[in-house]
Amino acid sequence: MRKDRSLEIPEKVRRTALARGEDGLTWLAGLGELVDELEREWDLSVGHAFSTGTEAFVAEALSADGRQTVLKIAIPGLDPSHRELRTLLAANGRGYVQVLRHNAGRGAMLLERLGPQLHQLGLPLDAQIEIICATLRDAWRPLPEGLQLMSGGEKASSLAAFIETTWAALGKPCSERAIDKARSFAEVRRQAFDPQNAVLAHGDAHAWNTLLVPAGGPQRFKLVDPDGLFIERAYDLCISMREWPSELLMGDPLELGRRRCRQLARLSGVGPEPIWQWGFIESLSNGLLLKQKGLDKLASEFLTVVSAWAIGDLLWT
């Protein structure tokens, strides 16, 4: 590592790396040297690390031509098939952050520099949802030939399995009725998977992964940190059903959830039923994941919303 620079590693990134055991320790020990190597090879000047990273070292960088960029180096093992890189390369900057250079073997990407996250702009919730939907409409496209990603059927099965095993392991922290409904919805979505109607999807399109494009002209946003899925559009939309649970608890969660689902359907042209079903599955899964991590207070918000949603049998007309 350059002797005149002490590499900043955000604490969240450090903790994630340490959780990877020996591989994480080795990555942390060699990160400074890797950054120095990439600076030389890509003709960069790397500056301060962003504090928002959790699964990668992300830092501001300046290219030799004066372009403001971002250097991202992933923690080994968290994305073994390089789904993020493959998704971003397939998007080629449309709706997603542009990849300028990459080295998959080192887990490194040089990205265009975007502006603040959507959630930092202080916009009303409805406006944030409108922006996310508009950004997704720009980003959705057919799966490029040769690109292999998890399918919608596989995603539904994976979430159902996680919900059942985690619910039991945590001592059944929500009603069996909610689990039964999630199981039923997951089977419906699994069977509904149709390659003809599926798209290259982000998989986690929330306000923290939606960034302002700083260039002049009409306000635009791009997506970062994709999971990369081959799935129906309703799945990307359901992330906005899962997010902001505290807003849904400010009144009747069932009625407020219905309102949000209708809004997402209206803005996207996608039917409300699959959005609702995926939203139910994702909200329950996320609540159990948070409880598994010991974040009981936040987990309870998601589980309370899902419990309210599980009571009503909705008919979308």
DSSP state of 10: -
Whichever domain contains 34, its CATH number is: 3.30.200.20
Residue 261: pLDDT above 80? yes
Work out how many domains the chain is built from and give that number. Answer: 2
Residue 276: pLDDT above 80? yes
316 located within any domain: no
Residue 317: pLDDT above 50? no
Same-domain check for residues 103 and 129 = no
How many CA atoms, within 13 angstroms, populate the side-chain half-sphere of residue 187? 5
Same-domain check for residues 150 and 291 = yes
Same-domain check for residues 166 and 230 = yes
- Check residue 315 and give its pLDDT: 54
178 located within any domain: yes
Encoded tokens for 111? 């990205």
Whichever domain contains 161, its CATH number is: 3.90.1200.10
User: Looking up tokens 């406006």, which residue turns up?
Assistant: 127
Same-domain check for residues 73 and 57 = yes
- Check residue 1 and give its pLDDT: 47
Burial (Cβ within 10 Å: 0-12, 13-18, ≥19) of residue 85: buried
| Cα distances (Å, whole numbers) of residue 106 to 58, 110, 226 | 14, 12, 19
Same-domain check for residues 134 and 170 = yes
Label residues 285-310 b or e (16+ Cβ within 10 Å = b).
bbbbebbeeeeeeebbbbbbbbbbbb
5 located within any domain: no
Q: Which of 112, 138, 153 is the last residue of a domain?
A: 112
Q: Which of 64, 79, 112 is the last residue of a domain?
A: 112
- Check residue 65 and give its pLDDT: 92
3 located within any domain: no
- Check residue 312 and give its pLDDT: 73
Mean pLDDT value of segment 70-95:
95
The whole-model pTM stands at 0.94
Residue 73: pLDDT above 50? yes
Q: Range of 99's domain?
A: 11-112
195 located within any domain: yes
Same-domain check for residues 184 and 152 = yes
Same-domain check for residues 87 and 19 = yes
Same-domain check for residues 233 and 133 = yes
Residue 4: pLDDT above 80? no
Same-domain check for residues 85 and 149 = no
Label residues 192-207 b or e (16+ Cβ within 10 Å = b).
bbeeeebbbbbbbbbb
2 located within any domain: no
Reported as a pLDDT band with limits 50, 70 and 90, residue 53 is confident
